[in-house]
Amino acid sequence: MQIEFMKLEITKHARERMETYNVSDDLLISAVTNPDIIVDGYSNRRIYQKKLNGYILRVIVEENKDIKRIITVYKSRSGRYGI
């Protein structure tokens, strides 16, 4: 079994959104390391989605070779994005 570690960088904007939506560091990490679904976004971005108590946590991530840069974080109502 191989365990892969990747550096996470959280942008200022993402930190502000985490505060707005009351998203803890632990919840963010859970969404990125154990998402319910990942969909492709624009360019090298991916959208990590995690179902939580009637809503979906969406984390927009720019992925490069050795770093995941968290661009933004927000909650959406459940069912809106097909999960």
- Would you state the pLDDT for residue 12? 97
Q: Give dist(CA 48, CA 41) in Å, integer.
A: 10
Which strands form 55-63's sheet, in the order they lie side by side? 7-10, 67-77, 55-63, 45-52, 37-40
pLDDT score for 44: 86
Domains of the chain: 7-77 (3.30.2310)
The pLDDT score that the predictor gives to residue 82 is 62
**pTM summary value:** 0.85
**Per the structure block, which two tokens stand in for 42?**
């624009």
pLDDT at 83: 64
- Mean pLDDT per 10-residue interval, the chain, length 83 residues: 70 97 94 94 92 92 90 85 62
pLDDT for the residue numbered 53: 86
